Structure 1
Amino acid sequence: MKNTLLLLIIIFTSVAYSQQLPEKPIHIPFTQTAGGHIIITATINGINGNFIFDTGAGMNLLTKKFADKITDLKKNSTLPYWSSCNRRRNSF
């Protein structure tokens, strides 16, 4: 009896809280770089930007230049940031 009740609870909760399919398909425009990265345009607190869509990323990162444009963005000051990622140093 306990096993049957437990099974019914598991089935009910998995059906009740499962994702529902939207009535209409949702289309999100994107571009793909030569390296295979997917770039989407999005808005954060009213500021538009281009972002790499990475489903395997463990955290979300913004460049300092973009983050400074957002006035009410909560920033984690304990993490380092790099304002010039992938820029070569000029040698004189």
Structure 2
Amino acid sequence: ASTAEDRSDYLHLTNPDDSAAVVDIELHGKDGALDSEVGEGIQVPPGSSVPVLLSTLTGKPQTNLTVHVSARSGRVAAAVQALDAKLGGDWIAPSAEPS
């Protein structure tokens, strides 16, 4: 994922349940976790999806980001939609943490 100026990457959070979910989003760059409180306590209403523009979670453009989503309550599915102004877009599927 990236927040570079020519990119518009979105994290799509989908709540399949009948009750609201609350999630925290952490971004990690080449030097570790990025400081941001904007990604904390994001509400995902029941049976809906919420798109989060990743550039709204950082103070300056970053490339090669890792996105970590934690649910405080409820369940969510998460996927990144990477959109490049020149090259088009693609979906980045979730992966598990290394063992």
TM-score (norm 2): 0.22
User: Which structure features the higher share of strand residues?
Assistant: 2
- Higher-Rg member (1/2): 1
Please state which structure has a larger fraction of its residues in helix: 1
